[in-house]
Amino acid sequence: MTTQSQIDALRSETVAAQSLFIDNATVEGTAEPMAVTSPIDGTQLTTIANATSGEVDLAVASARTAFNDGRWSRLAPAARKKILFAVADAIEADALALSVLGIRDNGTEFAMAYKAEAGSAAATFRYYAEAIDKTPGEIAPTAPGTLGLVHHEPVGVVGAIIPWNFPLMIGAWKIAPAIAAGNSIVVKPAETASLSLLRLAEIAAGAGLPAGVLNVVTGDGRIAGDALARSMDVDVLAFTGSGMTGRKLLEASAQSNLKRVYLELGGKSPNVVFADAPDLDKAAAVSAGGIFRNAGQVCVAASRLLVERSIHDDFVAALKSHAEAFKVGDPLDLNTQIGAVNSETQLAGNLRLTEAAISEGAECITGGNRILEDTGGSYMAPTILSGVTPTNTVFRKEVFGPVLAVTPFDTEEEAVQLANDSDLGLAAGVWTSNLSRAHNMISAINAGVVHVNTYGGPDNTVPLTGHKQSGNGSDKSLHALDKYTNLKTAWIQL
């Protein structure tokens, strides 16, 4: 069991200036490094290398060499499997230190980070390790005298651009299936959450992953990310982040080598609560967690609450009680339930969107303000906005903060219309005791994940897929391997 003294000891450790990780070695950047400011207290934690386009090209060249010479791509599946299991074991052994390092960097509360970051990353590497020798090719049902074979081959070099909210978890969602399939990869973390992925690369090298298979380049996305997206030697690009950046990556692909680009672009997820929900107290508690965990910085966050009008006032009151009971503060304090907003820039954006909602007619039931300013850190009170209509900005725009927009509805048909009244379609929730209604809502809501009488929790056995402008392709499950493999047909006359 983790103790506060263990966390405090790791918190006090100095974090050395960070380098790029290329070809299983640290590489000093040539540009002025970037400062890493901890959202916990606003102090400088360390620096990261600010990769130039030439240094990104160096990482891509390392990945290409590793792929072409077959040191990984042509290893027997059982051999790759053994190394990926070793990576998972090493992550698990270093889970506490990895979690604390990541929290100092991005501000996620410890209870969530320990499970969703290191714990999830280890489980993801294990899942794809186990899948390596269980995903065979195909024999086509052809005419006698002809043999049709379908081979699944690695694409080559993968580029992955990872967000700051769950760098280890989302990083593993992309790294593990990509290298399990036999590819090499170049990872570009977010500027405000690079430390745990740099440490992961070192762990993987120590566990036996060959040089060049996993490379990490840090720095300004406008330079390093753009260079990765425009590289003529990257075959597939996987990205999680904003729609604006996703569009730029598609443009870069069109202007370079037409690499496949897979995007997960967030959501404005509806959480629909009917009056016949089996347990309204549980629905309120889980709904509060579904938007306020990690200070609302979750891609699938249940940020739009659609609640049947007959229970609206009582349900909002219950939500308010849960929101105000959360302990917000130092994410490395074991008693904290909600940690820091990732950066001052993100906090300022959250507050601007909250103020805009109020100016457009929404009522702030609780929160709406910065808190704990004397700590020097970036903290926001859990915020509930009532009376939000589809014309309000906060109904449509992803805040990516602890801000809940509440809208009443009268009928099931109206609930579906409101739920789908968005350009985004990543996730949704439905609370009802009516089995027929549950299945009807699953069918009617245009989202990649629909939770029923819960919110959150799907594991690696099922995909996370964006609908509409939430993206394309899938993270998690065996379907994720499709992004990182090519199909090749062999047509043989016997």
Mind listing the domains of the chain with CATH numbers? Answer: 4-265+471-491 (3.40.605.10), 270-459 (3.40.309.10)
Which pLDDT score, from 0 to 100, does residue 222 have? Answer: 97
Mean of pLDDT values over 427-441: 98
Mean of pLDDT values over 401-429: 98
H-helix or E-strand spanning residue 418: helix 412-419
Which pLDDT score, from 0 to 100, does residue 483 have? Answer: 98
In this prediction the pTM is: 0.97
The tens digit of pLDDT for each residue in 177-222 reads 999 999 999 999 999 999 999 999 999 999 999 999 999 999 999 9
Q: Are 485 and 478 in contact (CB under 8 A)?
A: no
Mean of pLDDT values over 377-395: 97
Beta 146-154 vs 485-493: how paired, if at all? antiparallel
Which pLDDT score, from 0 to 100, does residue 225 have? Answer: 98
Q: Are 430 and 330 in contact (CB under 8 A)?
A: no
Mean of pLDDT values over 393-414: 98
- Residues in Cβ contact with 191 at an 8 Å cutoff, skipping those fewer than 6 apart: 34, 48, 164, 218, 219, 220, 221
Which pLDDT score, from 0 to 100, does residue 490 have? Answer: 98
Beta 146-154 vs 138-140: how paired, if at all? antiparallel
CB burial of 151-172 (b: ≥16 within 10 Å; e: otherwise) equals: ebebbbbbbbbbbbbbbbbbbb
**Calpha distance 254→242 (Å, rounded):** 19
User: CA angle, 275 as apex, 271 and 276 as ends, to 5°?
Assistant: 100
Which pLDDT score, from 0 to 100, does residue 35 have? Answer: 98
Which pLDDT score, from 0 to 100, does residue 292 have? Answer: 98
**Calpha distance 281→466 (Å, rounded):** 30
The tens digit of pLDDT for each residue in 259-283 reads 999 999 989 999 999 999 999 999 9
**Calpha distance 282→289 (Å, rounded):** 11
| Long-range contacts of the stretch 240-249 (C-beta < 8 A, 24+) | 240/161, 240/162, 240/163, 240/170, 240/174, 240/264, 240/265, 240/299, 240/475, 241/161, 241/163, 241/190, 241/265, 241/266, 242/266, 243/469, 245/161, 245/221, 246/471, 249/161, 249/225
The tens digit of pLDDT for each residue in 78-88 reads 999 999 999 99
| Long-range contacts of the stretch 392-396 (C-beta < 8 A, 24+) | 392/357, 392/360, 392/361, 392/362, 393/353, 393/356, 393/357, 393/360, 394/353, 394/354, 394/356, 394/357, 394/360, 394/362, 395/268, 395/304, 395/421, 396/268, 396/422, 396/423
**Calpha distance 380→338 (Å, rounded):** 10
Q: Are 110 and 119 in contact (CB under 8 A)?
A: no
Which pLDDT score, from 0 to 100, does residue 369 have? Answer: 98
What is the percent of the chain with per-residue pLDDT over 70, rounded to a whole number? 100
User: How does the average pLDDT of the chain come out, rounded?
Assistant: 98
Catalytic residue among 109, 117, 264, 398: 264
Q: Are 103 and 36 in contact (CB under 8 A)?
A: no
Active site residue 413: no
Q: Are 17 and 194 in contact (CB under 8 A)?
A: no
